[in-house]
Amino acid sequence: MTHTFDAELESRLVRYAAIDSQSDADSPAAPSTEIQLDLLRLIEAELNELGASDVTLTDYGAVLATVPATALGPTIGLLAHVDTAPQFNATGVKPRVIRGYDGGDITYPDNSELVLSPAVFPYLAKKLGHDIVTASGLTLLGADDKAGVAVVMTAIRHLLANPDIPHGKIRVAFTPDEEIGRGVSERLPADLACDFAYTLDGGAVGEIEYESFSADAAEIVIKGVSIHPGWAKGKLVNAIHLAARIIDTLPQVTMTPETTDGRDGFIHAVEMAGGSSEMKIRLILRDFELDGLAAKGKLVRQVCETIAATEPRAAITCTIRPQYRNMRYWLEKDMTPVDLARAAARAVGVEPVSVPIRGGTDGSLLTEKGVPTPNLFTGMQNIHGPLEWVSVQDMAVATALCVKLVELAAERSA
C-alpha cells in the first residue's frame, strides 16, 4: 500500500516546505509569527476540500478537524507542527527532489561546499532507489515537521476516501510554535478531545518513542557599568567579559550537546547577545531524569553566583523556567498507545524500535496534561540544518502505519 502514497506525499511536502513558517521565541504572540498562519490557513482550506468535519482554526493558532468514525473504537489524535526551527535560516526554502537516489554524495545547487554523504550519514546509504527531498543548500528543509504534516494529511485523505476502513473517530491537530516549546495551548487537550494521540515528529523508520528529555530554559542577564572607555579605568565593568567568563566556566567537555549522547543530558548555550553594558545568555537544560535536570539548573546558578562574587559592581541574574517533562513518567503507567503503534508497525512490515528522544515534542506536554501522546517516525533526518533530508518512501511507511493503527484500534474494540 505504501507506494500508492508516494506522489501525494512528495507533492504535499514540497508545497508545505516552500512556505516560510519559522517560529520566534522572542515574540509574545500566538502563534509567535504571522507567517505560520499562511501554512495553517492552507491546511484549513485543504481539510475542508477533503471533506473533514469540524475544521477550525483556533484563536491560539492550531488547526483542528475530525475524521468521523466508521466503526466503534477509541478517539485517536494525530498531530504535527507547522513551524520550522529558529536555529538556522528558514526563509526562502527551495525544496528539491532527487529521484531514485543512486547511493552517492548529494551536492547542493546554492552551496557548492555542502555535501550530504552516505559515508557520514549511514542511514542515507540504506535509501538506494528512494526519492530524497532536500533544500537547496542555504536553508533547512523543514521536514521537521512538514513531513509530519504531509503524512497526517495524506493518511486522513485516504481514510476519508475509503470509508470501508473501520476506525473510530480521529481528531487531527496542526500546531504552531512547537520548536520554541509553545505548541500546546492550555486549551488544546480539551479541544482535541481524544482518548490518546500520536505526534508524527520522529526520525528513522520504526522509531516509536515514549521517552523524551525533561527540559528547562535558563536566561542569564548581566548588567555591567557603562562609561566612556577613555575614562574607564577603575570604573567600567564590561558585561561582555563577564558573559564570556560564565560560558567559559560552564562544563564544556562533558556536558554540551556535541560531547554527549545516549542518556546523557546537557547544558546548551543557544544565544548570547548584547553589549558592554548589558548581555543576555540563553541556555537550554536537558536531562532524562528530574534530579539530573535540577542538578544542571543548580550548576548554572552556582556559576553565575561565582562570577558575580568576583565583580560586586555588576548585577547578574539567572532565571530558570520549565519547558516540558519526560513523557515516560505518564506513558509507562499505561502503554496501550505504545503497544498499539508497535503492533501497527509490525503489521506494515516494520520492526518497531523505542529509543529515548534527545529532544521533545508536543507529545511531551500533551502527555503531561493528560493526553497520552507517543511520537511516531516520519523519516526526517539531519533536522535544524542545511543537510536536512527525508525519503518520500519513508514517509509513505509512516502514512501506512497511521492507517493501520486506527484500523487495529477499531478491531480490538469490536
Catalytic residues: 83, 178
The Cα–Cα gap between 352 and 147 comes to 19
**What pairing do the DSSP bridges indicate for beta strands 389-391 and 132-134?**
antiparallel
- Strand, helix or coil for residue 96: strand
Please give the full DSSP string across 163-215, using - where no structure is assigned: TTS----EEEEEES-GGGT--S-TTHHHHH--SEEEEEEE-STTBEE--B-EE
Amino acid at 51: G
C-alpha cell at 271: 544565544
- What is the torsion angle, in degrees rounded to the nearest 10, for the CA atoms of residue 93, residue 143, residue 182 and residue 385? -70
The single-letter DSSP state of residue 51 is T
The Cα–Cα gap between 22 and 36 comes to 7
The alpha-carbon radius of gyration of the chain (Å, integer) is 23
C-alpha cell at 311: 565583580
| Bridge partners of residue 320, in order along the sequence | 218
| Bridge partners of residue 223, in order along the sequence | 278, 315
The single-letter DSSP state of residue 120 is T
